[in-house]
Structure formats: structure tokens, C-alpha cells
Amino acid sequence: MKGIFTALMCSFDEKGQINEKGLREIVRYNIDQSKVDGLYVNGSTGENFLISTEQKKRIFEIVKDEAKEQVKLIAQVGSLNIEEAVELAQFATDLKYDAISAVTPFYYKFDFEEIKDYYNTILENVDNQMIIYSIPALTGVSMNLDQFGELFENEKIIGVKFTAPDFFLLERLRHAYPEKLIYSSFDEMLLSASVLNVDGAIGSTFNVNGHRAKQIFELAQNGQIAEAREIQKVTNDLIADILENGLYQTIKEILKLKGVDAGICRKPMKTLTDEKIEKAKQIAERYL
């Protein structure tokens, strides 16, 4: 379960329906071209919070069918509707996903006891291992070292997808819980997190830049920091341009230039203007 995991995109058509052929091509591109170690399915990058339960299940099925046992698969099942979270967790477990993950419950200001109950409820109903998905900037939910520790008391919680620029907390977590898996999840901070000995990373830009993420992570593990810094620099030039042009839309456009039928993003996400499509082409030519 260690290494570089792509936060997988999903291909959607103009009607917002899953483009199965396109999704299969995205899976193949990540496995065959980028050679990532795993896929994180139905996360933020997969537009999970914009789609129906049936669509989430279908995506789990298609990805498993395409990837088979070639890479590790993590199913993000988190939902404000706890019955949906349990249903998806059971569904992905039946499909033999290697682990499930759930975003911290958001929108309502849940207290820590409620958050803990959410994870324990999902896990009481499913025979699988869980990776907490912590992304305070989007959920508004920040947890401290002790709270992570309390969640980790449940042995089925095997790690955390740590999507925050808090390197103090990251170092404390690494030190306090050497046996838990910690995944860094801001791609632009991969080297810094790798130096703190994270077990892997999960990221959106790995859909097109997974090969460099693998290099950064492996170089850092070998102590080749100067070399890793060079690759992180190019990576961050790429990420800065992608973020400026529109994150998920630009990644999809770049995939299309690589021959992958990545489709468009679901509404209310916008489609790229002609000018931004041209910019995406320039980004691809410059970096990929």
C-alpha cells in the first residue's frame, strides 16, 4: 500500500454521464504510461461529490475491472449520508478493493465525537481497512495529533491521506505513529513530505505527471535530495500553470492530447474556453 497513488479522474460526457471507454483509458494511461503504484478512486479529483450513488458504484466496478490486480486500489466512500458511505464501503469491499477511505464529514460543524462515530460506524459494517481522508481547506475539519491518535485506536484505521500544508503536524504524526500509513496529498509539497518519511502520496496531477512524482518519491527515499528538488521544481512549474488555467479541466485536456478520451468535467464545473484549451496545449508541450 506504499508509493504513488493517482487520485483518479473520471471521464464524463456532455450529459454528465460516465464515459466508460474514457475512464478505462485513464486507468490504462496511469498504469501503463505513468506506472503509478495505485489508484485512489472517487476522490475529489474524481468529482465524487457531484455524482450519484449509482455512478459511484459503476466507477468502482469499471476501475476494478480494468485495473484488476495490477495496482493497489483505494475506494473513497465518504459521504454526509452515512448509509451511503456504508453501502459504498461494502460495495467496494465486495469488489476486493485493497482499502477504503472516507473524507471527514463536512458542512455541518460536527464535533470530534461525531467524526469518530462516523468512522467507527462505517468500519463496524465492513470488513476492510480504512484510510482517513483529511482535507481541512475544503472540509473545514482540522484534527490535532491526539484526535488522529484516538481514531487510530481503531485497528482497522490503517492510515491517513494528509492533505494539508501543516508540516509540524505531519512530522508529529510520523513520529507518533510509525506503523500507520501516511500519504502526502498536495503534489506541490511531495518532496518536503517525502523527506519527513511519508509512505506515499495521492494526487490529482499524477494523472498526467505520475512519472515525475514517482521519481521525486524514490529519489527522496534514496537521500538524493538535490536531484529530487530539480524534478519538484519542474513539477511545480507545471502545477502552477495547471492551477492558473483550471485544475481538473486542464488535466483532462492534457490527457486528451495524449490520446486519452478524458471527457469534460461535470457541472457546475465550467468547461475551458478556446483560449484555455490552447493554453493547456502549451502546458503539455512545455512539460509533458
Q: Which of the residues are catalytic?
A: 133, 161
Angle between helices 53-67 and 20-28 (to 10 degrees): 40
Give me the least distance between CB of 250 and ligand SI3, in Å please: 11
79 is in an annotated binding site: no
Which residues make Cβ contacts (< 8 Å) with residue 43, sequence separation at least 6? 7, 8, 76, 101, 133, 202
Complex with ligand SI3: residue 138 or 176, whichever CB lies closer: 138
Taking CB under 6 A as the criterion, the residue among 36, 39, 41, 43 binding ligand SI3 is 43
Stretch that binds ligand SI3, among 106-114, 151-159, 170-178, 201-209 (CB under 6 A): 201-209
Taking CB under 6 A as the criterion, the residue among 27, 100, 115, 202 binding ligand SI3 is 202
Positions 227 through 286 that interact with ligand SI3 (CB under 6 A): 239, 243, 247
Tell me the C-alpha distance between 128 and 200, whole Å.
20
Give me the least distance between CB of 113 and ligand SI3, in Å please: 25
Taking CB under 6 A as the criterion, the residue among 4, 7, 51, 92 binding ligand SI3 is 7
Taking CB under 6 A as the criterion, the residue among 204, 215, 235, 245 binding ligand SI3 is 204
Stretch that binds ligand SI3, among 42-50, 57-65, 174-182, 209-217 (CB under 6 A): 42-50
Cell numbers for 199: 509512505
- Does 215 participate in binding ligand SI3 (rule CB under 6 A)? no
Residue closest to ligand SI3 (Cβ): 43
184 is in an annotated binding site: no
163 is in an annotated binding site: yes
- Does 187 participate in binding ligand SI3 (rule CB under 6 A)? yes
Write each residue from 138 to 167 as x if it is in contact with ligand SI3 (CB under 6 A), else as -, in one continuous string. Answer: x------------------------x----
Beta bridge partners of 134: 162
- Does 38 participate in binding ligand SI3 (rule CB under 6 A)? no
Complex with ligand SI3: residue 205 or 215, whichever CB lies closer: 205
Q: Which residues does the annotation place in the binding site for pyruvate?
A: 45, 202
**Interacting residues with ligand SI3 (CB under 6 A):** 7, 40, 43-45, 138, 163, 185-188, 202-205, 239, 243, 247
